Amino acid sequence: MTYRVCFVCTGNICRSPMAEAVFRARVAEAGLDGLVQVDSAGTDGWHEGEGADPRTMAVLEANGHSLDHTARRFDPSWFARLDLVIALDAGHLRTLRRLAPTERDADKVRLLRSYDPAADHGDLDVPDPYYGGADGFEECLEMVEAASAGLLAAVREQVGGRAA
């Protein structure tokens, strides 16, 4: 049975596609690509149908990641098929939990940086790099990379539990 993870930011062109690309690579490296499906979406539909921001693509490519991406808006009906919904900041967390049809669905929503043991637990947001320069995208990638190991460990535990 496939374990499904969806990363969510605002417009699905910067942070969430970056997290999708990085985590998909981690899943493949762990040999779990047949067991874990990785996706992304936005809380808003401003960029639906567009590719990822060119600065996102540049940072990903410079760090060995690839991504074929078309932005889309998160649909609450997806909760039924998703196992984990990863919010990139506290605003997304609140929005997604409000959209959740059930309490069980709301419990599927987690902040990405909550999986990074070195993160400042007073501020778990991955800042939106959209209005800044390349350094903001690099910082975003660093935060995503730092949280990915912990997220992978949590997902591996869930996948292992399903296989038992």
Both structure tokens of 143: 């935060």
Q: Is there a catalytic annotation at residue 9? A: yes
Choose the catalytic residue: 14, 15, 116, 156.
15
CB-neighbour burial class of residue 2 (10 A; exposed 0-12, middle 13-18, buried 19+): exposed
Place of tokens 């296989």: 163
- HSE (side-chain half, CA atoms, 13 Å) at 152: 20
The amino acid at residue 54 is: P
Choose the catalytic residue: 33, 44, 97, 128.
128
Choose the catalytic residue: 9, 14, 55, 156.
9
> How far, CA to CA in Å, does 94 sit from each of 39, 59, 87?
20, 28, 9
Q: Is there a catalytic annotation at residue 81? A: no
- Kindly state the helix (H) or strand (E) to which residue 85 belongs, with its residue range: strand 84-87
Q: Which residue numbers are catalytic? A: 9, 15, 128
